[in-house]
Amino acid sequence: MLRYKVYSKDGTISFERPVMLFVHGLGGGYANWVCQVRSLKKRYDLIVIELPSHGRSPLKLSESEPIIDEVSARIIDVLDHLGVQKVTFVGVSLGSMIVQHLAYTYPERTDKYILIAPIGRLNEVYRFGIRLIKNLLPIAPMGMVITLVCALIMPHKSMSYARNMFMTCARRVERKEFIAWCKVLLSLKEMHSQYADVMKDEPNGLYIAGELDYLFLPMIKGDMKRIRNFVMVKKAGHICNIDQYQKVNDLIIAFQDTGSCSLKQTV
């Protein structure tokens, strides 16, 4: 089973408050959500998982079929183990893609879903970048690859805290596991096209993106017309839940409590 932690009033699921499950991004871990856990555990019961090959998770992606269905099934295993039937899924970056897959594949387990730093349509630039990283991983020093990823995704000085957190977590992921995750990332183009056709005007989904997310924000602009709840966060990059955590926390609370469709487009 995936490694997980429960954050609540007493460290257990109360079954009396809304439950949220958090999915970090590639190279991330529990630390991705520290700014959310401190605030949200006062109102909700939180489940924070570590994806296969990350942190101290006992499962390795390279030892199973590297597909998103396998990853999603292991997350559902955690819910079954805890006896939780329905949650709000929250994901960041790669985690947002996994959450979208969970919402599409397991609607009966989904109350709401929140996509932070959503990836959007997987264009050829994205696929070229993933192939480049996949080809570099067997031959280049891991530190160099991780630094390259940081430079592309979080280039500004204002993103230094998120960048340092990512680098700390990413160094714990083995080289062969990064390669396995690259295979997952390259397989997602067809999946996203299916969602674009099926999940129209998503009333149960909230999208939160940083205005300085120059790499991934253009990929989602083509979908903005069909997204009912989309919020752009000022002075924030790709990992906007760290860069502007208070604003993001307020958005999460508002959406969880009201499911509001009248959220401001920019905050």
- Does 266 reside within a domain? no
Task: Identify the pLDDT of residue 195.
Answer: 62
* Mean pLDDT, rounded, for 179-195: 76
Whether residue 264 lies inside any domain: the answer is: no
State how many domains the chain has: 1
The dihedrals phi and psi of 201, each to the nearest 5 degrees, come to: 45, 60
151-169 residue pLDDT tens:
888 878 788 888 888 888 8
- What is the amino acid identity at position 192? H
Cβ–Cβ < 8 Å for 227, 136: no
**pLDDT confidence bin for 51, thresholds 50/70/90:** very high
- Is residue 234 in a domain? yes
* pLDDT at residue 127 greater than cutoff 80: no
Determine the pLDDT at residue 61: 93
Q: Write the DSSP symbol of residue 60.
A: -
Whether residue 27 is contained in a domain is answered as: yes
Residues in the chain: 267
What does the alpha-carbon distance between residue 111 and residue 93 come to, in Å, rounded to a whole number?
20
Question: Cβ contacts of residue 60 below 8 Å, gap of 6+?
Answer: 52, 53, 177
- In a domain, residue 168? The reply is yes
> Taking 80 as the threshold, does the pLDDT of residue 201 lie above it?
no
Instruction: Please report whether residue 196 resides in a domain.
Output: yes
User: What H or E segment, with its residue span, contains residue 243?
Assistant: helix 240-243
User: Does residue 226 lie in a domain region?
Assistant: yes
| Structural domain boundaries, residue 137 | 3-258
Q: What is the CATH number of the domain that holds 118?
A: 3.40.50.1820
Cα separations (Å) of 78 from 47, 84, 144?
9, 9, 34
* pLDDT at res. 197: 57
In-domain check, residue 265: no
Q: Per residue in 246-259, pLDDT tens?
A: 999 999 999 999 87
Confidence of residue 65 (pLDDT cuts 50, 70, 90): confident
Statement: residue 226 has pLDDT above 80: no
